[in-house]
């Protein structure tokens, strides 16, 4: 969800100034819980080039590179409390925007795989000691019983 929020805010910033109220609304709409920090990078496009058909890799790299050069943004990137990042991109004929939303999550997924019964095995750990996990079982379609079947 953080990627969706970052992408939505990046598109908003193409036509608007940074706005914490708008960002807060986007964060709430995407159900991002816990603390977060948002950093924004941009790169102005050359006026003399036609950018519609051009690949903008260097421009996005420049926008992100700026974030690693500024002390406050760099401090956000390496802050220990932020465990996840959502990244959004937007561009028009004038500039490219990159938005990175760093957030605190209570849970981290460390592995995904297939279980012995052809299901999915998810491994992870709880990061915060004030939360727990209430798990539901995800099963194969073959294991779901038809409620309309007789005798079951």
Per-residue pLDDT of the chain (152 residues; tens, 9 = 90+): 789 999 999 999 999 999 999 999 999 998 887 789 999 988 887 765 554 555 666 777 777 777 778 888 888 888 888 888 899 999 888 888 999 999 887 777 788 888 888 777 878 777 766 666 666 555 555 555 655 555 54
pLDDT score at 16: 95
> What residues does 108 pair with on adjacent strands?
125
Residue 32, phi then psi, degrees to nearest 5: -85, 115
pLDDT score at 116: 82
- Burial bucket for residue 83 (CB in 10 Å: 0-12, 13-18, 19+): middle
Among 75, 82, 86, 84, smallest CA distance to 4 is for: 86
pLDDT score at 56: 67
pLDDT score at 152: 45
Q: HEC states along 51-119?
A: CCCCCCHHHHHHHHHHHHHCHHHHHHHHCCCCCEEEEEEEECCCEEEEEEEEECCCEEEEEEEECCCCC
62 Cβ partners below 8 Å, 6+ apart?
Answer: 43
Among 143, 138, 87, 144, smallest CA distance to 112 is for: 138
pLDDT score at 145: 60
């Amino acid at each position: 969800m953080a990627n969706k929020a970052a992408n939505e805010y990046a598109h908003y910033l193409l036509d608007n100034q940074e706005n914490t109220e708008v960002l807060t609304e986007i964060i709430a709409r995407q159900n991002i819980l816990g603390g977060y920090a948002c950093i924004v990078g941009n790169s102005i496009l050359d006026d003399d080039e036609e950018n519609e058909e051009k690949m903008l890799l260097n421009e996005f790299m420049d926008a992100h590179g700026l974030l690693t050069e500024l002390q406050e943004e760099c401090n956000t990137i390496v802050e220990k409390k932020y465990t996840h990042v959502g990244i959004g991109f937007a561009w028009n004929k004038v500039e490219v925007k990159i938005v990175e939303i760093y957030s605190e999550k209570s849970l981290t997924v460390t592995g995904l795989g297939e279980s012995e019964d052809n299901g999915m095995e998810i491994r992870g750990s709880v990061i915060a000691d004030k939360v727990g996990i209430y798990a539901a079982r995800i099963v194969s379609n073959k294991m779901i019983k038809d409620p309309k079947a007789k005798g079951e």
